[in-house]
Structure 1
Amino acid sequence: MLKHVLLTSASLCAVMVPQFALAQANPPAIADIIVTAQKRAENMQDVPIAISAVPASALAESGIRSTQDLAQSVAGLNVTRTTEATVFTLRGIGTQGGSTGQDGAVATFIDGVYMPSMAGATFALNNIERIEVLKGPQGTLYGRNATGGAVNVITRTPQQKFSMDASIGYGNLETMEGNLYATGGLAKGVAADIAVYYRNQDKGFGENRVIGTDVNKSRDFIVRSKLLFELGPDTSLTLAGDYGHTKGSLAIAYRPVPTSQLVDGTGYAQFVANGNGYYDSQSEFNPVVDTKSFGGSAKFQHGFGDFTFTNILAYRGAKGFQRVDVDATALKIVDAPLYNKEKQWTEELQLSYDSGPIKAIAGFFYMDAKSQYDPFQIAGLAISGETGGLSDRLVIYSAQKTRSYAGFGQLTWEFATDTNLTLGARYTVDKRRLHADQYFGIGIPLPDAYCSAYCRPDGTLFPLGTIDQAKTFKKPTWRIALDHQFGRDLMVYASYSRGFKSGVYNLTSPADAPARPETLDAGELGFKSTLMNRIRFNAAAFYYKYQNIQAFQVNGASTTLTNAASAKIYGFDFDFQAEIGAGFSLSGSGAYLHHRYGDFPVATISYLQQPAGAPTYAGYTPGLGNYVYPNCSSAADRGQFYCSATGNKLVNTPDFTLNLTLNHQVELAGGTLKSNFNWSYNSGFYWAVDNRLKQPKFSLFNAQMMWVAPEERWNIRGWVRNLTNKKYLLSLNENGTGDEAVPAPGRTYGVSLGFHF
């Protein structure tokens, strides 16, 4: 399959594109893409960083609605879900798990504001100007927890001239979707905008066969607004605010995977025999995620001479409720209702300079954040078994406070004609403090319906103890890059950089010591080219040395956050875009990764049952999957073992990814008919460090067709996503109650009507 994929892409790039282009009369020139990857506006082709930029037009044409869809346009990026958290894995660098207080290894920013919550990385892409995916450690200008890269989301800027775009659509599964963006001037020098997005998938992909309700559905609402004050020719103030609410059972309705045995003695065969389909689940309650996120920012910018001063003050908050059936059975064995809250203040000061051969920026970043479970609970027979029937619930109130300080600077010097040297450095200090109170619940009934008491403890709590910990993490990071422009259409660069991901506490197991910081040293060699003014082709090769990888180790119903070993990753990726002519354009990207863990002698491997004939130990509870087997000599053994994962492949990391997008437009009936076809390929990846369960390779096809009326006053659009109804997984958990997974959405389709004023 890979051979055919690579031959196809190479043929399209090297043969078809030039022949088509030469055959057409005056095909259009390819448009420049302006990015702010180095915190100044530059042509993407002049920036010595591997960047995949997706402008608003490409988002609309490809039907990319949310951050979860980005992998279909950015090769080397894998996107999975863990309950409410969106997990980005870029070139093999990502975060295993997604609990509250845990940071992503690929940092997310909206208009320069850092989004520490992994739940905050899940949002609809309305009013977007472009998305920039920066590959490799961004340890200087972005710094905090940008080990693997950064996803920069840039929203539209309010305009004085009034305009409005609106659309309303309907799709299968009784899905309603609406989108509105309006902007205009309020007074001289004052402009505002507002963006509203609503989507309600009222019917689920599957059914909870135990209680007869739909699962794998969601409802999303987002509103964003900006207010721009132009205080002078070189001075501006932008106030921004947003609110989002997501509710549903998407990414949380677990069901067994093939070959899995569950803790109640059933398994996948019994699941199918009971009449369950691929998207169905079996649970004594309906799993749910209910998350609200909100925030605001003030960005002040003033230019004086060759200098520009920027100050960004921002607040972010999130709160949510989740209820997860961890055991994926109709019995109340491991029921996990929880409340999570997050809030943060950030302040960033920047002073930039641009004159002659020197471009420089220096700044200071400060963050004050708190992440907490209020509370985190594990209820059911698993707890009853551990306590001899005295309690059916473990209740944990835990909070992590973080104060982060960083000073940074970067300088680019054109020391010879068309040759630039970039030097950057950052020093980060993270102060973490954890406080937790743990209880057993006595006489607390847990409702079977949708948590009528919001699953909060309402009975007697027996205290188990209080935990207080504190730790400070300090680390310098840097970047060195050299680039040279060979004529107008070719730039070659080489870079060496280091990224750092802070140490962190595990709020679900607060007695554990904090995980140590991760570091990533990266070498990269790349080029950016433009051919015949109609083809853009950029590529990079890289080598990574990844140290102290933070990894979750599953232990029955609970998890432990530890440091895995090192890993070595190398590979290459590329992006291209071509204006073919006759209304056709072609774009795509591809990536190859070789990735292996280094010395990793103690990895936790989770199975359901104790191996036959294996010795027992004092802490073993039959049926709870917490058996520790020291040798792990056979994959056929079942239980939970401490094994070696040395030489295994990294989690959530496919060897090959590729995507191609073909666009076409033609004049029709006085208007314009626009067509889009997108194909993305993923070679498959492992879900855990044991490399026991793998997501097989899969391809996704999306298509849409839109007719735009004269003067673009209105349009009608038809679309289909996952055209072939490919079945693949959104997430998978290996744990002591069995192996359970959540299916990704199947085929969806619909129509919409849009207006422009």
Structure 2
Amino acid sequence: MSRSFNRLLIGIATTPFIVALGTASPAIAQSAPDSTPAAAQGSESAGGDIVVTAQKREQRLQDVPISMEVVSGQKVADFSAADFKAVQNYVPNMFVQQTNGNDTIYIRGFGSPPQNFSFDQAVSVYMDGVYAGKMRQALNPFFDVARVEVMRGPQGALYGKNTPAGAISVVSAGPTQTFEGAVTGTYNFDLKGYDLTGYVSGPITDTLSLRVATRIQDQDGYIKNLATGHEDPENKLQLFRISALWQPSDNFDLSAKLEMSNYERVGGLGVSSPVNTAQQPKLTRYAVNTPLGQEGYTNRSILGSVTANLKVGTHTLTSITGYSWFDGQVTNYFDQQAPSGAIVENSVYNKYPENFKQFSQEVRLLSPTGGTLEYVVGAYYDTSRYHVDPYLGYDFPISAYFPSGLYSMNQTYFSQQARTLSAFAQATVRPTAGLRLIGSLRYTNTHKQGDFYGPVLLAGGVYKPSTSASGSISEGLADPSITVQYDVSHNLMVYAVYGRGSKSGGFVSNTVGTKDATFIYKPERSRNWEAGFKSTLWDGRATFNVSVYDTKFTNLQTSGYDPNALTYITKNAAAASSKGVEGSLRIAPSKYFDITASAAYQDIKYDDYPGAACLAIQPTSVCDTTVTDKTKPNSFLNNNLAGYRPPYTSKFTGNVSVHGRVDVSDYKLDGTAVIGGRSGYYDSDDQSPTYGYQKGFAKLDLRIQFAPQDDRWHIALIGKNLTNELTTGSAFRLPFPITNTTRAIMFIDPPRNIAVEAGVKF
């Protein structure tokens, strides 16, 4: 039988366990394994409230004084989400920039650009309580998860390291006290491949439980490569996780998790588009593999954690030990446009081999709840090593710029060692009934050592001379926060927050021409004012939450491609600010129908950014790249982007999710529709109003499921991006002399795709 037919059989014969799309709201939440035993995990509280652990304790979402969204493991599974890009439409004011290099998460418009590979992330990800500051550490985290908590704004105290814009906590599903298991299979008709997941969980002894979960994905891409005949990018993914929970007594529990992943992407995402028109994304490209081998990306990673909870009198002592490692490389070739276009050339190509390992340890003490004073105190330590050694290839055609043409193969070398020590505390005082005063503080000391050298000529002629740089950073940063929280009634809570966040400084890792003078960038700081309310209405069948915020960054770390200098520029922008409002509404009149809506508006701009490259939206009377006389007001040497919006920021983002259910005798039919969208935004570093502007859009996802009332099995039809919006994650101008014909390269998001799913649980 054919390969496609075999895949189809697999897709029909297997699949999920998680059942009824019982809620389209952001979440079903279990207690976090980093603070409480997995045995305590449940879907919702007895009253149907969503339970989270954003403040390291089990709390109702409606009691947490943080602007946050919670995406349930149910919704992640329902729409086969594998990464952060797949869920961004469910979380307003969150954006994931996708490139052929690193992906970057932005919250409220702030994130760490992908061009400098050694950046720590301004939006930190925590996997079962373990800090993952590199995106490669959590490349495909949405696999057998309980929930995903997205916390907007600085989380400097309890989450601490590098959270000036926000934090995301991914909590995987833990072992269960009773035996259960499930298999889920999905066949995607448009991507011509399958996604297979499954788990088995249950007790081994009276005190020991295990959970084993796996995911295997093999799917084609959605961009036709006319040079190879393949659909780019083809994705192959294997994930495996084993979790254990040991509870020898009521006073002690220990959980351990080990996750291994192997990911291979064949082909790229970049396609050509004109530079003098609005974006014209297409689903064809022409890219030929050259001296660096197969285009695409490979990544192998390991993530392990051990969490122990010990009752000490009325207190709980928690220890979280984490280890993570990844080794990967991305190889990029740009669309050469042939055979439909006039260009057939190997212009610029690169490969970024990376290696990273990290060990971390956190210890914290939690006081009992319910008294006048509650507190959390703790300490954190981590150490890491990182290497990135890019290959840079140039194959320029004969031109006035290069009369004889140029072929050059080079490599640069970067290494970094880092160590972090921090101490933190949070105290909650209840002076009167309903009033809570919360004070938090974290002090972090960071030391880094970095070295850069290159480019080293491997073949051909010299394109740029070698440089070297070496430096060390030792810094101490304090991040305080103060929160006033008041329960107006049992169903209405209001709060106000002042908080600070920070991200450590670092080194320019992969820019040719780097010297000591440009090697080090400073730490960035943020401060945030926020106020809001959370309300429960209609006897618990509705919730309505609103927050307003004012966030300001100083020494904002930026990195972008300057097509005039033909290189990346990494530096600290002086200041930027973001003001906005975020809200969510959920109405669930019965188990047969619910609707959830969330939205955000933001006004973000640079307050001061001297020395920035000219933007395409700036007229030459304001910034001219040809004027080198600094006494001229329009010289690029005097450029300041004060008042301009940063790229990748929309004013409006939002989503609406509607779920309905109909019972038919012993069976039920569930349907969930999610529409998410955003207003237009610049997605090129130079903010071109033509090739660098993504207009506003809305994308519709739909799931229809049929199952028996006891959910022993189900079948479902899943449609993603049914509006077939062709959108771009990022874009940049490929300039002369890199190419004879200047054009834009865009990274295309997936178009409409439809899949069938079947599943069984036992």
Give the shorter-chain TM-score range: 0.7 to 0.9
Shift of 1:606: 7.3
Query: 1:314 maps to what in 2?
Result: 322
Query: Which whole-Å CA distance do the structure 2 matches of 1:170 and 1:502 have between them?
Result: 44
The 8 Å contact of residues 584 and 664 in structure 1, kept in 2 or not, is answered as yes
Query: 1:283 maps to what in 2?
Result: 287
Corresponding residue to 1:191 among 193, 209, 214: 209
Q: Does 1:589 align with 2:621?
A: no
Query: 1:25 maps to what in 2?
Result: none
Letter in 2 for 1:349: V
Query: Which whole-Å CA distance do the structure 2 matches of 1:631 and 1:181 have between them?
Result: 68
Change (3 A) 1:337 1:86: closer
Letter in 2 for 1:470: S
Corresponding residue to 2:137 among 101, 115, 120: 120
Query: 1:372 maps to what in 2?
Result: 387
SS of 1:416 mapped into structure 2: coil
Shift of 1:104: 1.4
Change (3 A) 1:650 1:444: same
Letter in 1 for 2:66: I
The 8 Å contact of residues 248 and 289 in structure 1, kept in 2 or not, is answered as yes
Shift of 1:345: 0.7
Letter in 1 for 2:657: T
Shift of 1:231: 2.6
Query: Which whole-Å CA distance do the structure 1 matches of 2:119 and 2:175 have between them?
Result: 34
Letter in 2 for 1:473: E
Query: Which whole-Å CA distance do the structure 2 matches of 1:98 and 1:226 have between them?
Result: 35
**TM-score of the pair, normalised by structure 2:** 0.84
Query: Which whole-Å CA distance do the structure 1 matches of 2:625 and 2:158 have between them?
Result: 53
Shift of 1:688: 4.3
Query: Which whole-Å CA distance do the structure 1 matches of 2:386 and 2:403 have between them?
Result: 29
Q: Does 1:443 align with 2:447?
A: no
Corresponding residue to 1:242 among 239, 259, 262: 259
Query: 2:21 maps to what in 1?
Result: none
Shift of 1:735: 5.6
Corresponding residue to 2:428 among 397, 402, 412: 412
Q: Does 1:421 align with 2:437?
A: yes
Shift of 1:149: 0.8
- In the TM superposition, what whole-angstrom CA distance separates every residue of 1:29-76 from its partner, at most 9, and x where no partner exists? 972011110111111111111121122233344554432122221111
Query: 2:509 maps to what in 1?
Result: 507
- In the TM superposition, what whole-angstrom CA distance separates every residue of 1:599-654 from its partner, at most 9, and x where no partner exists? 223212478xxx9xx9999xxxxxxxxx97979999xx9xx987432211122111
Q: How does 1:458-477 map to 2 (within 5 A)?
A: 464=466, 466-477=468-479
Query: Which whole-Å CA distance do the structure 2 matches of 1:694 and 1:118 have between them?
Result: 25
| Identity rate, percent | 23
- Deviates most, 314-323 or 641-650: 641-650
Corresponding residue to 1:742 among 725, 730, 747: 747
Query: 1:89 maps to what in 2?
Result: 106
The 8 Å contact of residues 603 and 689 in structure 1, kept in 2 or not, is answered as no
Query: 1:264 maps to what in 2?
Result: none
Change (3 A) 1:605 1:393: farther
Shift of 1:308: 0.8
The 8 Å contact of residues 127 and 138 in structure 2, kept in 1 or not, is answered as no
Shift of 1:99: 4.3
- Deviates most, 711-720 or 59-68: 59-68
SS of 1:69 mapped into structure 2: helix
SS of 1:120 mapped into structure 2: helix
The 8 Å contact of residues 533 and 546 in structure 2, kept in 1 or not, is answered as yes
Query: Which whole-Å CA distance do the structure 2 matches of 1:724 and 1:461 have between them?
Result: 46
The 8 Å contact of residues 653 and 685 in structure 1, kept in 2 or not, is answered as yes
The 8 Å contact of residues 29 and 534 in structure 1, kept in 2 or not, is answered as no
Q: Give RMSD over aligned pairs.
A: 3.2
Letter in 2 for 1:724: T
Shift of 1:388: 8.7
Change (3 A) 1:361 1:628: farther
Query: Which whole-Å CA distance do the structure 1 matches of 2:151 and 2:365 have between them?
Result: 22
Query: Which whole-Å CA distance do the structure 2 matches of 1:585 and 1:249 have between them?
Result: 41
Gaps of 5+ in 1: 1-12, 14-27, 262-267, 446-459, 618-626
SS of 2:613 mapped into structure 1: strand
Query: 1:552 maps to what in 2?
Result: 559
The 8 Å contact of residues 52 and 134 in structure 1, kept in 2 or not, is answered as yes
Corresponding residue to 2:482 among 480, 483, 489: 480
Query: 2:699 maps to what in 1?
Result: 700
SS of 1:548 mapped into structure 2: strand
Change (3 A) 1:307 1:333: same
Change (3 A) 1:632 1:518: farther
Q: How does 1:145-224 map to 2 (within 5 A)?
A: 145-172=162-189, 173-202=191-220, 204-224=221-241
Corresponding residue to 2:545 among 531, 538, 544: 538
SS of 1:59 mapped into structure 2: helix
Shift of 1:147: 0.7
**TM-score of the pair, normalised by structure 1:** 0.85
Gaps of 5+ in 2: 1-24, 26-44, 338-343
SS of 1:392 mapped into structure 2: strand
Letter in 2 for 1:259: V
Letter in 2 for 1:469: G
Q: Does 1:655 align with 2:651?
A: yes
Query: 1:602 maps to what in 2?
Result: 611
- In the TM superposition, what whole-angstrom CA distance separates every residue of 1:691-746 from its partner, at most 9, and x where no partner exists? 32221101000001111124211110111000021110122234645531111000
The 8 Å contact of residues 182 and 193 in structure 1, kept in 2 or not, is answered as yes
Change (3 A) 1:582 1:52: closer
Query: Which whole-Å CA distance do the structure 1 matches of 2:159 and 2:234 have between them?
Result: 35
Query: Which whole-Å CA distance do the structure 1 matches of 2:479 and 2:418 have between them?
Result: 20
- In the TM superposition, what whole-angstrom CA distance separates every residue of 1:575-606 from its partner, at most 9, and x where no partner exists? 12111337110012100001111122321247
SS of 2:519 mapped into structure 1: coil
- In the TM superposition, what whole-angstrom CA distance separates every residue of 1:190-217 from its partner, at most 9, and x where no partner exists? 1110111122113x21222234332133
Q: How does 1:555-634 map to 2 (within 5 A)?
A: 555-556=562-563, 557-581=566-590, 583-605=592-614
The 8 Å contact of residues 96 and 651 in structure 1, kept in 2 or not, is answered as no
The 8 Å contact of residues 275 and 733 in structure 2, kept in 1 or not, is answered as no
The 8 Å contact of residues 546 and 566 in structure 1, kept in 2 or not, is answered as yes
